[in-house]
Amino acid sequence: MYTRATRVDDLPVVYRICHENGLPDDGSERSPELLGHVYVGPYLVAPGTRSIVVVDDQGVAGYLLCARDTRAHEAWVEEHWLPGLRADLPLDRPRPRADQEIVELLHSPELAPDDVVGEYPAHLHIDMMERLRGRGVGGALIEELCALLADEGVRGIHLNVGTDNEGAIRLYRRLGFTDVGRGDSSLYLGRTLPTGAGA
């Protein structure tokens, strides 16, 4: 098992991982690409991001995506990523309810609160297939990322996780993340990075 920087040809598999693991399987009809348009695609092409995949003997099995500057990333997504998607996916087109919720996110993204971004300017997304879970892979990748960002002078990082994802919340808290805010049905967790030593 090893990690490497993402490539453009990774897009199909990381989109699939996002689709399969990003939302609970409640039986709703869902288009497989929509969630990836929100949480995966921009991180593979936008400037100022760090995107890696985990590869085992069966292929790509997980990813860790990070934007070093959340506000700059949000601005890039708004200018370069979302206009075409909004044109292709108008709000008034008939579609399954689960898909409509994601399309609404493309038209009205949930932006991180100012007080969260002020203290924790970077943010991350991480997802692992079932065969990698419980092996410490995700935690190790997050620790490596935090060390790298600290060396680059980034003072803090945050993430946004659903309040019902209790296992993930426990993991992030073990990794030193603390509660720093709330979304509609999510929790913002942040971690201060010791930039003084490595910057």
Number of domains present in the structure of the chain:
1
* Cα(18)–Cα(63) distance, integer angstroms: 9
Name the residue with higher pLDDT: 30 or 69.
Answer: 69
Residue 199 has pLDDT above 80, yes or no: no
Among 50, 52, 72, CA closest to 62: 52
Lowest-confidence segment of 8-17, 24-33, 59-68, 146-155 by average pLDDT? 24-33
The secondary structure of 14-54 as a DSSP string is: HHHHHHHHHS---S----TTHHHHHHTHHHHHSTTEEEEEE
Residue 22 has pLDDT above 90, yes or no: no
Which CATH number do you get for residue 99?
3.40.630.30
Q: Residue type at 116? A: V
- 27 is in which domain, residue-wise? 2-198
pLDDT band for 198, please (50, 70, 90 cuts): very low
pLDDT band for 183, please (50, 70, 90 cuts): confident
Name the residue with higher pLDDT: 167 or 120.
Answer: 120
